[in-house]
Structure 1
Amino acid sequence: MRFSSLLMAMVLVGGCSGTPASEAQTPPPPAAPAAGTPPVLATVNGSPITEDDVRKAAGLEIARLEEQLYQLRKQQVDELVARRLLESEAARRGQSVEALEQSEITAKAGDVTEPEVDAFIETNRARIRGDVTQLRPQIREFLQQQKTDARRTALVDGLRASAKIDMRLEPPVPFRATVDIVGAPVRGTTTAPVTIVEYSDFHCPFCRRVQPTLASLLQKYPGKVRLVYKHLPLDGLHPQARRVSEASWCAAKQDKFWGFHDAVYADAGTDASDATLTRYATTAGLDAAAFGACLASPETKAAIQRDIAQGEALGLNSTPGFFVNGREVRGAQPIEAFESIIDEELRGGRR
């Protein structure tokens, strides 16, 4: 039922009530919340539970779901926009959409060649499972789809450039987690307007893989970005990583965390023996006696456990995990994913 019809039905029902209109007692509407006041979602014995309370308890999980919903809606909007652009172009040419796609997409995408299949196999040989000969038809089909998708994207992008499109779908306001970085190692200008907090595991291969990306960001945004390191060793996956974190914390006590950090990530091993840690310490230029005493201290273990507890409280259960001015970035993302948020933050951010 449309709202106007529903409203009329409500009026008619009210008019048929046993109470004359002049005598009807209309309860006052609930007071609207003051501007800026979070909506009340429930009350317990008169005590309100507000939207802010829920966000504090599960803000990151809610933000992830809101972002997934936005991406789903954006994907569908983009597809509908593309379809209407193709329909408009086909009508302009006096042909069907299918004919347009055949001439401008399928024909111009071209066929996949044998050398292209060979190149794909060579590039991805380490990840291919099974008989390569039997997989060639599937590989060819995959590459053909890539070519077709690329050509369709190019065609639609060209049509979009000359069309008048008013995109009104807005992304969700980003959730900003509050991350405790007191005492954590910092690389870059300490007063930089953008802070990247990295929760990492020294034995995580993805954490190692993202290090060049982080170094490039610091180089690209001098004075504008700083990197803060937090420990999140995953004991179930990397049982010796916690000890490396403890050793790096001891390096930080001598103001040489980053030298130790770089020595660890330069090594592809997952060993945390005394000999290995000593080698890292030597590379970083640590005082051996002070390093050994620190490594045996209960304070060291407590410090790493504190980082782990903070990471888990934020909802992290994998590494690497990042917060860019409190905005979550999950996993070893390409540099463009970080640049997009950094640039937005430098422009003032989405509020």
Structure 2
Amino acid sequence: MLKTCLGLVVLVAFLGCKQQPGKPSNPADQPSQAPSADVLAVIDGDTITEQDLVRSINTDADLYQRFYQIYQIKKDILEQIIDERVITQEAKKEGKDREQFLNDRLKDKITVADEEVEGFYQNVKDNPTLKGTEEEKKQKVREYLSERKRVTLERKEVEDLKALHKIELRLAPPPYPEVQVSIEGDPVLGPADAPITIIEFSDFECPFCRRMASILKKVLEQYPGKIKLVFKDLPLTKIHPASEQAALASHCAEDQNKYWEYSDQLFESNGALETADLVKYATTLQLDVAAFSACLEQKKHLAAIEADRAEADRAGINATPTIIINNKLITGSKSLSGFKEIIDAELAKLAPAAAPQPTKP
């Protein structure tokens, strides 16, 4: 009986959606369709989609950075929830609550040697916030070191437990902003036809740029023949007064085919960028010092630096280091693993699709 009733319901529903012969379709008679999840607003039938919003965000680097920060916050919270659920599941298997489960797994691993306590105590014993007798102070130090070790060990324990589970993170970051900048005339390292182009706007007096130079060297080593690195000057002279002259010097070295070697000298200089220092680096690299000095004094390559500044301004770039990978403006600091994630994704997109496997008869 139930099957018969269900069959009638399905039949009625089917017939109700079918046009009767000879009757024109009336849109008002049709069931309204739920708007696509991608549609955020409708103006007289004209839709505004999620992609429209993303495109607007991506034209403003500062606005994008705010959205990316929101994504990072959501990702951190999501990972905390995942951690807690994994711990809860594993604790439940042993019939324990969270605290008991973790305490049992960590209690024999958290040890603080007397030598550790003594060494740390000697560094903090005069701190006015550390009160009490010497023994009381040392006990507080021991408790602090013990808790610090517990946090580290708990983090490792959770990561080991997560490895036992199939976990999929589906929270996607906002797409990187698309930017177009010219690289004509800029120093290039790597094959001209490399599938990955990394453009860096940098400042030789910027400590973060120094760190980035080291990371990019490792990136190039890990992707031989696949990356074209382009260097663009963005000396921030208001906070780095020697940066423009250092940039000029780098191009004077480029005139003698030593741009990248000279750039390394500048980043390794720890801020020693006075004229005498710049000439010393030229001497170290066995450049024609007279030609180099004349080039530097005449500011021969100032127009090229100004062109890079103008390019940065058009792209909304006002900080160093700024990285662009295949026309994507990469915001935030990036570690080697961060670069690998982006580059691998780009290479995967460029890889030819696998040929379909023949079906078995």
TM over 0.5: same fold? yes
> Once the 2 structures are TM-superposed, how far is the Cα of residue 166 of structure 1 from its aligned partner?
4.7
> Once the 2 structures are TM-superposed, how far is the Cα of residue 280 of structure 1 from its aligned partner?
2.6
Q: Tell me how far apart the structure 1 counterparts of residues 227 and 121 of structure 2 sit (CA, whole Å).
A: 39
- 1:168 matched to 2:173? The reply is no
Q: Tell me how far apart the structure 2 counterparts of residues 213 and 239 of structure 1 sit (CA, whole Å).
A: 25
TM-score, length-normalised on structure 1? 0.71
In the alignment, what sits opposite 2:269?
A: 267
Q: Tell me how far apart the structure 2 counterparts of residues 91 and 52 of structure 1 sit (CA, whole Å).
A: 42
> Once the 2 structures are TM-superposed, how far is the Cα of residue 184 of structure 1 from its aligned partner?
0.9
CA contact (8 A) 1:201 1:234 kept: yes
> Once the 2 structures are TM-superposed, how far is the Cα of residue 141 of structure 1 from its aligned partner?
6.4
SS at match of 1:181: coil
CA contact (8 A) 1:189 1:223 kept: yes
Q: Tell me how far apart the structure 1 counterparts of residues 307 and 232 of structure 2 sit (CA, whole Å).
A: 10
Task: Select the structure that is richer in helix.
Answer: 1
- 1:188 matched to 2:190? The reply is yes
> Once the 2 structures are TM-superposed, how far is the Cα of residue 240 of structure 1 from its aligned partner?
1.4
Q: Tell me how far apart the structure 2 counterparts of residues 82 and 292 of structure 1 sit (CA, whole Å).
A: 60
SS at match of 1:270: coil
In the alignment, what sits opposite 1:344?
A: 345
Q: Tell me how far apart the structure 2 counterparts of residues 139 and 65 of structure 1 sit (CA, whole Å).
A: 39
Structure 2 stretches lacking a partner, 5+ long = 1-26, 29-37, 44-51, 131-136, 351-361
Please tell me the residue identity of whatever aligns with 2:203: D
TM-score, length-normalised on structure 2? 0.69
Structure 2 counterparts to residues 165-244 of structure 1, below 5 A: 165-244=167-246
Q: Tell me how far apart the structure 2 counterparts of residues 140 and 342 of structure 1 sit (CA, whole Å).
A: 45
Identity of aligned residues (%): 34
Please tell me the residue identity of whatever aligns with 1:221: Y
1:101-149 superposed Cα distances (whole Å, 9 cap, x missing partner): 32224x2451444544677799xx9xx9x95696788876665444323
Q: Tell me how far apart the structure 1 counterparts of residues 42 and 241 of structure 2 sit (CA, whole Å).
A: 43
Please tell me the residue identity of whatever aligns with 2:163: A
Q: Tell me how far apart the structure 1 counterparts of residues 127 and 295 of structure 2 sit (CA, whole Å).
A: 53
Please tell me the residue identity of whatever aligns with 2:242: Q
> Once the 2 structures are TM-superposed, how far is the Cα of residue 245 of structure 1 from its aligned partner?
0.7
Please tell me the residue identity of whatever aligns with 2:243: A
CA contact (8 A) 2:250 2:262 kept: yes
Structure 2 counterparts to residues 154-165 of structure 1, below 5 A: 154-165=156-167
When structure 1 is superposed on structure 2, of 192-201 and 312-321 the one drifting more is 312-321
Please tell me the residue identity of whatever aligns with 1:66: F
C-alpha RMSD of the superposition: 4.1
1:71-95 superposed Cα distances (whole Å, 9 cap, x missing partner): 2222222221222222222222222
Structure 1 stretches lacking a partner, 5+ long = 1-24, 27-35, 43-49
CA contact (8 A) 2:68 2:174 kept: yes
1:278-334 superposed Cα distances (whole Å, 9 cap, x missing partner): 223333444445434433556622221222233344444433232233241544x43
